[in-house]
Structure 1
């Protein structure tokens, strides 16, 4: 299990390379949900998501030989962008494997940063390819099955716990589970009375299915939310979530896109569906906890284009 000392060490390591993102009360979201809401704006992080933290922590932990060999990562979008950009900043050659369903903009950014991008038919094929490439000498930077990466993502929780006012409940999106594992570990150490809740989208339910099965299982991702579409969680992230997280909700893609529009209208922030799904989950938390709730939202990323959002809104009949 990741401890607070691991997260604090990661924070010291990546300081100066990443942004300490704002933690702000949101009057608009507070009015919308009927309880006080505080947002950790990780969409303002370098590369547009929290992923820069874990990628940087891992890159800085590598030996000279590992860095010289180059690194490889698999991604539905944000981890690939983060690794490509941060590796370029540290003069490390990067290979990024993405499914063809990944956002076109994510592929373009990774390529523009100088990474070699390899596309596969789906996420399962992407992970399979990543498993083979270390044999060619590349150093893997796994998006969530890595203690150093999880500790890096946990610095989100380190900052949130330090900077927020009163909180009773924190809501975090789940793909492979690295972010929520790190955030939950930080809050358990620093604010043990705060409950941490997870949220996935239908068709990207790797963690909720793992919890039901008693361990990681393979799923076939079908959600539009490619940044949450891991084909399975890891034993490492499963262990953290099963021990530290209150419950994992599953919401529809439509609800996630509606959340994107609500965040734009009420919080004045431009997010992606991986963050949009926080709002329907937060409503469920308020239903459970009642009006005493003080909600914290980890707004994980904002790498969606205007065209993406318009297309999703039209697809789901949202205005």
Structure 2
């Protein structure tokens, strides 16, 4: 992936997505003991960064492919984005989700017009989506697609440009990892526009597809046990693994309770409501500041699709 690919993707999706802001957070800066910028992608349509990739993918389809419809597999946010974007474009969509997906995401995807099919787990969801693809639908993959990766990289393109305009370029950018499309695209943009900046990935215990891939020297299946379904990819792809291996400084792993408490920290100190897939960045940021006391941080707040009661309950668990 190149910065030119990401700039092309930005032109392709312009007008179809929200140009989300990048802002300093004095409250979170005080809590972490380091300057913090937040890229507020939780304000994106459908409540996460995912519509960027979906818009770019649908724009690349032929008339025949659009007429045949699309299929997506998702732990929550990707399916919701496909449902909303495809519904608005008049493209028939099937979304396959595990039964553990957030109820609000399932309901919202159905409300947007998608045929939502539930499976026992995320691996079964991928298998079912594959069957529908072989039957003629186009698969809108959540991460194993260069069109998707380039479009998710527009988050990093905007962040880097905004940081320069603010006069606060970060030394360290934190991005959560599910299948790895977001961090692959963001790392490509940030490393091109802010040379020397470290990009860190963050996963949760029991959803460590990228950590496992890095340890094994390539994508390998993992058993999912994390409650944070929006990060629960059954494996990385070769595409995302290659980008992370080349461009990401390190992948940190936090547990589910830390991620949920991080969501509450963002609410209390930054005044924003984010999902635990973004909350996991907060405990990771603390580790980075411990290692690099002079760090200037930028956190990609990837989504906001989480119920308050669920987060408060899970944050209290030991």
TM norm structure 2: 0.97
The 3-state SS of whatever aligns with 1:269 is coil
- Aligned residue pairs total 314
Write out per-residue CA displacement over residues 105-146 of structure 1, whole angstroms, 9 at most, x where no aligned residue. 000000000000111000010111112211211000000000
Q: Give the 5 Å matches for 1:100-249.
A: 100-164=99-163, 165-249=168-252
The 3-state SS of whatever aligns with 2:16 is coil
Write out per-residue CA displacement over residues 300-319 of structure 1, whole angstroms, 9 at most, x where no aligned residue. 000011222233234x16xx
Write out per-residue CA displacement over residues 139-174 of structure 1, whole angstroms, 9 at most, x where no aligned residue. 000000000000110000000000012210000000
Alignment correspondent of 2:310? 308
Alignment correspondent of 2:255? 252
The 3-state SS of whatever aligns with 1:280 is helix
Write out per-residue CA displacement over residues 257-312 of structure 1, whole angstroms, 9 at most, x where no aligned residue. 1101100000000011100000011111112222x211000000000112222332
The 3-state SS of whatever aligns with 1:220 is coil
Find the aligned partners of 1:190 and 1:35 in 2 and give their Cα distance.
22
Find the aligned partners of 2:302 and 2:280 in 1 and give their Cα distance.
11
The 3-state SS of whatever aligns with 1:266 is helix
| More off after superposition, 174-183 vs 132-141 | 132-141
Contact kept, 8 Å, 2:160 with 2:169, in 1: the verdict is no
Matched, 1:14 2:16: no
The 3-state SS of whatever aligns with 1:310 is helix
Find the aligned partners of 1:310 and 1:293 in 2 and give their Cα distance.
30
Unaligned 5+ residue runs, structure 1?
A: none
Find the aligned partners of 2:283 and 2:231 in 1 and give their Cα distance.
16
The 3-state SS of whatever aligns with 1:196 is strand
CA RMSD in angstroms comes to 0.8
Instruction: Give the C-alpha shift of residue 216 in structure 1.
Output: 0.5
Find the aligned partners of 1:166 and 1:153 in 2 and give their Cα distance.
20
Find the aligned partners of 1:248 and 1:35 in 2 and give their Cα distance.
20
TM norm structure 1: 0.97
Alignment correspondent of 1:41? 40
The 3-state SS of whatever aligns with 1:96 is strand
Find the aligned partners of 2:92 and 2:4 in 1 and give their Cα distance.
30
Alignment correspondent of 2:282? 279
Matched, 1:295 2:297: yes
Matched, 1:87 2:96: no
Unaligned 5+ residue runs, structure 2?
A: none
Write out per-residue CA displacement over residues 49-91 of structure 1, whole angstroms, 9 at most, x where no aligned residue. 0001111111111111111110000000000000000111111
The 3-state SS of whatever aligns with 1:117 is strand
Find the aligned partners of 1:184 and 1:282 in 2 and give their Cα distance.
17
Instruction: Give the C-alpha shift of residue 222 in structure 1.
Output: 0.6
